[in-house]
Structure 1
């Protein structure tokens, strides 16, 4: 590898071992095999730009890994519920086996506040992720998914993924399994009832009191 690739690899290792904020220029050059500090300025302009480039590389790898985790989930002939539970089992497994990679995405979110390039990359990845998840759950190609479905089904599934990820990274012992996530979604659905069903709060008289059902 050349100096640029060595620096990216070194920065990536530092991000995984020390995090963005605690990584110094000296740390990066040491992890890169003794590349000179001046090479950082030559190839990337600054320590921050190098670390952001390494983060973007890690995020791209995360997206690829997530796609692999979700590909072909569920046994042939299984029900949609069984397939959904199997999908979550794969995702949760990746939280453990690729913990550092998932932590890198949290680092990226924090640093995106100070880097428009990183923020744009994250936003683009989220858009792709929402569409990909919606397509996966519907069993269709991504270009067949309606935009409204991306903003509903895709967005909610992305929110679930992010929330479960945080729980597993901080408190795996008490975090939900795939089966528990499925049951939680069923409970939420039951609480709201079928689409189009009137809310009980609507059954009130004009004065606002509950309708008297006593004979």
Structure 2
């Protein structure tokens, strides 16, 4: 690898181990085996390097879900269950990456460029989950509402799994809860 790739790898390592706020340029240099001048030369600033590293980490996090989306499963109940099982497996497989994703989201509120990137990723998630979990004949507003709810619940559940994995809802608990809510709505 060249210095640019080494710096990105070092920044990702630091983000996983220390988080954004606790990572210095010297930490990145130590983790990458490069020098301070390389950061400016290749990225312009430490913040630009960290932003690029975060973007790549978020992409890595999304890649954990494999090539087949839950939306490709015809049976709705199985599709819904698969989403939560895949999510639980991704968080369990790489808790550091999941934690770094949360830290990066909160950090982004102070970095407009990063905030815009994360906001765009969230919108893509809303659209994708709306397509996956709304009725196929649902209008665009309904699909967006379903996708927004799924993103909110997904984000909240990941936070619970990171903070208190033993008492957090399991994928089965989540499916059961949604079924109960659906049944309650059906009763009117």
Please give the range of the TM-score, normalised by the shorter of the 2 chains.
0.7 to 0.9
Q: How far apart, CA to CA, are the structure 2 residues paired with 1:188 and 1:139?
A: 17
C-alpha RMSD over aligned residues: 2.4
Measure the CA separation in 1 of the matches of 2:134 and 2:35.
51
1:135-150 paired onto structure 2 within 5 Å: 135-138=131-134, 146-150=139-143
Alignment match of 1:165 (pick from 158, 165, 178): 158
Label 1:149 to 1:162 Cα distance change in 2 as closer, same or farther (>3 A): same
* Structure 2: 5+ residue stretches without partners: none
Query: Rg bigger for which structure?
Result: 1
Report if aligned partners of 2:71, 2:131 keep a CA contact under 8 Å in 1. no
Structure 1 residue 90 corresponds to structure 2 residue 86: yes
More helix by share: 2
For 2:12 and 2:72, locate their aligned partners in 1 and report how far apart those are by CA, in whole Å.
Answer: 30
- Alignment pair present for 1:64 and 2:66: no
Deviations along 1:89-148, one digit per CA (max 9) or x if unpaired, are 1211111102122112112211111111111111111111111112222586xxx97431
Tell me the residue number matched to 1:133: 129
Q: Quote the offset at 1:45 in angstroms.
A: 2.0
Shift of 1:82: 3.6
Please, what TM-score do these two structures have when normalized by structure 2? 0.88
The residue matched to 1:22 in structure 2 has which SS?
A: coil
Given that 2:127 and 2:143 are in contact with CA atoms closer than 8 Å, whether structure 1 keeps it comes out as yes
Residue 16 of structure 1 corresponds to 16
> Which residue of 2 is the match for residue 182 of structure 1?
175
- Quick one: structure 1 residues 65 and 127, their matched pair in 2 at CA, closer, same or farther if it must change by over 3 Å? same
Superposed CA offset, 1:182-208 (max 9, x none): 1212333344x349x5xxxxxxxxxxx
Structure 1 unaligned residues grouped into runs of 5+: 198-215
Give the distance between the partners of 1:108 and 1:82, measured in 2 at CA.
32
Contact 1:69 1:91 in 2 (8 A): no
TM value normalised by structure 1? 0.78
The aligned length equals 188
